[in-house]
Homo-oligomer: A and B are copies of this chain.
Amino acid sequence: MDVEGAIRSRRSIRRYKKKDVSDSVVRELLDLARHAPSSMNGQPWHFTVVRGDQTKKKLVQIKNKYCPVEKQAFRADLIQHAPVIVVVSVDRRESYDREIENGVFAAANILLAAHDKGLGSVYMSAYRADEPGVSEEIRQALGIPGHMDPISILPLGYPDEIPEAKDFKPLNGIISYETFGNE
């Protein structure tokens, strides 16, 4: 797939076929993830690849326990039904105060590369700024040390849905020239 086509056609996928995702494909995605930019080239990433039902169940429970009221329509049960989950964490000691940016850039590569390989995924956060319990419980569930921050949870699987076409805001309304509002 070319870059433009992949960016335009990628969508969040929340239903997956039973078909397994091989370890070699997962490693290809993580190889591409580490090509993301990172603050001061710190490359602070660690990727935990989860396949076990019990571990997935824990992640579902943590995510649902801390799910904000306004996001109840997007509960985390789908984690249980994805063949593989990648949890993206970053080492704070190598993140230069840009933990979230570093994590999200790696996740962005995974989402786009997954789509390119015929896989589907959906971005889920692994922390809440106002609820340290989310990170802490995810650390416990996966044995992640305290100097690392879990940032993203990315379910991966072969798509078993075709999402509806997305409407975009008009480009004119979201671009200003030189100063805000000057379209």
Q: Which residues of A does B touch, CB under 8 Å? A: 1-4, 6-8, 10, 12, 27, 30-32, 34-37, 40-41, 43, 45-52, 55, 68, 70-71, 74, 96-98, 100-101, 104-105, 108-109, 111-113, 116, 122-123, 125, 128-130, 142-145, 148, 166, 168-169, 171, 174-181
Report B-chain residues with C-beta under 8 Å of the C-beta of A47. Answer: 174-176
Additional A-B contact list (11), CB under 8 Å, known A3-B6, A10-B37, A46-B180: A1-B2, A1-B3, A10-B35, A27-B171, A40-B74, A48-B179, A50-B178, A101-B125, A105-B108, A108-B109, A143-B179
Chain A interface helix/strand/loop/mixed = mixed
A128-B97, A174-B45, A178-B51 known; A109+B7 contact, CB < 8 A: yes
Please determine whether A30 and B174 come into contact, CB atoms closer than 8 angstroms: yes
Partner of A176, one of B41, B46, B129, B181: B46
Interface-central residue, A3, A36, A113, A130, by most chain B CB under 10 Å: A3
A2-B2, A100-B100, A101-B125 known; A48+B178 contact, CB < 8 A: yes
Tell me the smallest distance from the CB of A52 to a CB of chain B, in Å: 6
Partner of A31, one of B12, B34, B171: B171
Please determine whether B12 and A32 come into contact, CB atoms closer than 8 angstroms: no
Report B-chain residues with C-beta under 8 Å of the C-beta of A112. Answer: 3, 7, 112
A101-B123, A129-B97, A179-B48 known; A7+B35 contact, CB < 8 A: yes
Tell me the smallest distance from the CB of A3 to a CB of chain B, in Å: 4
